Structure 1
Amino acid sequence: MAAVTPVRCSLRILRRLPRVVSHRLQQCPRLQALGPTPVFHISTPLTSVHWRGFRCSHVASGQVLQFKLSDIGEGIMEVTVKEWYVKEGDRVSQFDSICEVQSDKASVTITSRYDGIIRKLYYDVDAIAHVGSPLVDIETDKALEGAPEEDVVETPAISHEQSHQEIKGQKSQATPAVRRLAMENNIKLSEVVGTGTDGRILKEDIINFLAKQTGAILPYEVQKTPSPTADTPPKEKTPIMAPPAIPRPVVTWKDRTEPLNSFQKAMVKSMTAALKIPHFGYCEEVDLTQLVRLRSELKDLAESRGVKLSYMPFFIKATSLGLLQFPALNAFVDEGCQNITFKASHNIGLAMDTAQGLLVPNVKSVQALSVFDIAVELNRLQALGSAGQLGTADLTGGTFTLSNIGSIGGTYAKPVILPPEVAIGALGKIQVLPRFNSCDEVVKAYIMNVSWSADHRVIDGATMSRFSNLWRSYLENPASMVLDLK
């Protein structure tokens, strides 16, 4: 017997039909054994209902939202769009990379906040984008937000179309840079155990995972490309392009006024805050004769592993060993000097003189790294700094800073503390000078002077002196570092 349904009720029936079918199918033991694979889809000119894997929703037309460039920190107000990862019409999900922008100080990958379709790109490559201005228009998916609550029935299920970066309906937590590194090396994030906060996958986790697969200790540059085998042709490694040559200034013999760029404004702000800190200085002479001999013995071994070994990894590791004994120097203090936070991780920064100006990237978690690990990371940071490609993650989070002014020239310095840190060291050049040995004989010695600055509100002179003596003892007798290495 046929039944006649009024036209005004047709849409309501279409919307409720998947729910009824879903309920009936869930009661069927035979279909439950097969798993949530049936697909039910009804489409009309006015509405669309899609049911898949015991998930039913009413899909309405999306809303076009302007995705604006948010504040990326460091006082930066404008950036240059260097590369687009999407084009108009592409579908994106949350945390997918949209574009890469570059400021005077760092390169940053911008990720999506919404699920939807790209409808408009506001800038061309190499165009200037301002903070707060729209980057793209995204037509968001209003599948569940616009539907009545009684029309949505959802049962957790893992779709076979799920990407390898999703586990049980959730994406692995990782930054776009880490996801790109995993993609370049064909690594599934679902197989990597994250050691970051709340299980977040870090760059070190990808590197360690790849090292376990290859069975070798590889530097970062080598790890970015898997070792070639007989079945797999070697991939060409894209070299980091050197920065363009800086043009020679044209002398016009006229006064010229230029506005400060965003990086210079950020430096002015930082230095203004630093000048409010009551600094005190402490200088020391260090005999590096034994360290020079040790480094010359290890230099060829490090180069055989593809790493350039300088003196800085030893200076940084000695600093970390000293901070274990004097944690007050690895601390943050608030502006009102009411609270001091002792930082568990030794993120030691290294001041670099680059074409973009003074940059201070830092080596993360030095307390857990070997001298070789530090050298690998320094090689990476120096290469990115020369190419102007240091990211925000490399430039933030420092807890203690060393300035290698001796690489340019100079014996002593008066370094300025980088707030909210409480101490900083400046390393002078290594000089060959005559010194007396234990037998009162004049010998050739490799001498370096170090200049420390500390926040006198929380660090006293005796603490700074004891730390410096311990740091000097590690470097004058580098074999003693072996006893305290983790």
Structure 2
Amino acid sequence: MPKEIILPELAESVVEGEILKWLVAEGDELKKDQPFVEVMTDKVTVELPSPYAGVLVKKLVNEGDIVKVHAPIALIAEPGEVAGAISDRNTEPTPAPSIQAQEERSIVEPGNVNEDSGEELSLFKPDKKPEQVKNPFTQATLRGVAVAEPPRAATNPYGRVIAVPAARKLARELGLDIAQIPGSGPGGRVRVEDVRSYAEHQGSRVEAAPQPTPVAPAPVQAPAPAGFPAPVQYKPPKGYEGLEERVPLRGLRRAIANQMVASHLYTVRTLSVDEADLTELVELRSRLKPEAEKQGVKLSYLPFIFKALARALKKFPSLNSSMDEARQEIVLKKYYNIGMAVATDAGLVVPVIKDVDRKSVLELAAEVGELAEKARAGKLTPEDMVGSTFSVTNIGSIGALFSFPIINVPDAAILGVHSIQKRPVVMDNDEIKVRHMMYLSLSFDHRLVDGAEAAMFCKEVIRLLERPDLLMLEAI
């Protein structure tokens, strides 16, 4: 009997993954723990090892599919079972899926059902048979008393209704608000039958109206859920058709896009810009750099910035917080994990350095180098990417003067550090000197952090960077 291989839990917060690339073909023999598929979750690409030895009988999902954790992705069989399994599949070909099933394939979940026949697909085990799913619109009223309004459709974390594309299309054609249609699919997903039932229910509450002449439905823009803009379809300018290339939004670029949308929707981003005189820090690093190299560590300015941030975050805890949207609570964190934006050939990733306040400058320098190398080699693990309480992006490494960084949700703020440049500065005694200056740009969520507090936080970071000896004197 072939065994199912499911998408395992790759990290505590991971609920789904994108199938990037199959490393083997159907019919190939697999050894136990042999990598057989590449999966991306939360910007991390991992190769899944086979939990069994045998022959890959069937791939249940395609490259580019989004798969829920614990959903089956492949079938594997013992070598002696392969002939029988293939024979069974050849003698009874799988019936063509319905339009709705085709539309649902882009998000694969346990419990898919062939809705045309009402039968379970042979490769899945649904939680409920179709006849067991209750339709909220077919329940009778009680002795003339109106039943309470049915619940609204389920939504994803970005406020978008969870529905199959075919259901969205049908709702648009019927002029229905899909946000009002409860779904009977997995996780409350709205299916085609839910839209039809809702339409029939709405029609039964209105007196018979003349039937319109059958015409092709005009395209109607789908109503956008609250706080979520309606999707816009791009069209090439007249005369330039065929001179463009379309690339599917997949992999790391899709993960980045989702994170940017979440940052835009769930933060009130505000910018505070200041500058720091890093002349003393430049001199200190120059003295310590040879000693660090003797220990095999490349000493940059980031470890000093991280130490200063950890001190400042303890004085201004709102910068080290998150908003729990569901419970409407502010979460003040007592640990200090700093995300570090790293530019790679595939896109931007943000690995996290844990417990910054407990590590020395040299320990932080070594970890910065290791994580940056893993990021550029595509070897980051899910554990490397989670748990940040604050983030830093080093725009100065590529020469930018200053920027408006995007907050790495659910963090409350992100600090952009920029290029260190020699500039003339008027000193306290009115003397003009050449100093090593750097701009700092702090993006913060104004729901959690007041402008005055953000400015004071920046001043504290600047104080510690301008006097790096204070990092040695002050208690953690």
TM-score by length of 1: 0.56
Partner of 2:345: 355
Q: Counterparts in 2 of 1:23-172, with a 5 A limit?
A: 64-70=2-8, 73=14, 76-80=17-21, 101=38, 103=40, 105-108=43-46, 110=48, 118-121=53-56, 131=67, 132-135=71-74, 137=76
Q: Counterparts in 2 of 1:306-385, with a 5 A limit?
A: 306-335=296-325, 338-385=328-375
| Displacement of 1:473 | 0.6
Partner of 1:53: none
| Displacement of 1:395 | 1.6
For 2:24 and 2:371, the matched residues in 1 are separated by 21
| Displacement of 1:476 | 0.1
For 1:264 and 1:475, the matched residues in 2 are separated by 35
Residues 404, 426 of structure 1: 8 Å contact kept:
yes
**CA 410–297 in structure 1, closer or farther in 2 if over 3 Å, else same:** same
- What RMSD over aligned residues (CA atoms) do the two structures have, in Å? 3.1
For 1:129 and 1:469, the matched residues in 2 are separated by 46
Q: How many residue pairs are counted as aligned between the two chains?
A: 301
For 2:247, what is the secondary structure of its paired residue? coil
For 2:336, what is the secondary structure of its paired residue? coil
For 2:77 and 2:312, the matched residues in 1 are separated by 51
Higher mean alpha-carbon deviation, 385-394 vs 369-378, is at 385-394
2:341 is aligned with 1:400? no
Residues 39, 48 of structure 2: 8 Å contact kept:
no
| Displacement of 1:74 | 8.5
**CA 411–404 in structure 1, closer or farther in 2 if over 3 Å, else same:** same
| Displacement of 1:305 | 0.7
Could you list the per-position Cα deviations for residues 190-221 of structure 1 after superposition, in whole angstroms to 9, with x for gaps in the alignment? xxxxxxxxxxxxxxxxxxxxxxxxxxxxxxxx
Partner of 1:455: 445
Residues 340, 352 of structure 2: 8 Å contact kept:
yes
**CA 359–123 in structure 1, closer or farther in 2 if over 3 Å, else same:** farther
For 2:297 and 2:439, the matched residues in 1 are separated by 27
- Structure 1, unpaired ranges of 5+: 1-62, 140-251
For 2:418 and 2:464, the matched residues in 1 are separated by 17
Residues 119, 136 of structure 1: 8 Å contact kept:
no
Partner of 1:422: 412
For 1:475, what is the secondary structure of its paired residue? helix
**CA 99–471 in structure 1, closer or farther in 2 if over 3 Å, else same:** farther
Could you list the per-position Cα deviations for residues 229-252 of structure 1 after superposition, in whole angstroms to 9, with x for gaps in the alignment? xxxxxxxxxxxxxxxxxxxxxxx9
| Displacement of 1:265 | 2.3
Match of 1:272 among 252, 255, 261: 261
For 2:311 and 2:22, the matched residues in 1 are separated by 42
**CA 447–410 in structure 1, closer or farther in 2 if over 3 Å, else same:** same
**CA 100–78 in structure 1, closer or farther in 2 if over 3 Å, else same:** closer
Structure ID, larger Rg: 1
Q: Counterparts in 2 of 1:216-227, with a 5 A limit?
A: none
| Displacement of 1:430 | 0.8
| Displacement of 1:292 | 0.1
The one-letter code sitting in structure 2 at the alignment partner of 1:66 is: E
Q: Counterparts in 2 of 1:437-448, with a 5 A limit?
A: 437-448=427-438
Partner of 2:128: none
Partner of 2:281: 291
| Displacement of 1:75 | 6.3
For 1:285, what is the secondary structure of its paired residue? strand
For 2:331, what is the secondary structure of its paired residue? strand
Could you list the per-position Cα deviations for residues 270-304 of structure 1 after superposition, in whole angstroms to 9, with x for gaps in the alignment? 22222232122111110000000000001111111
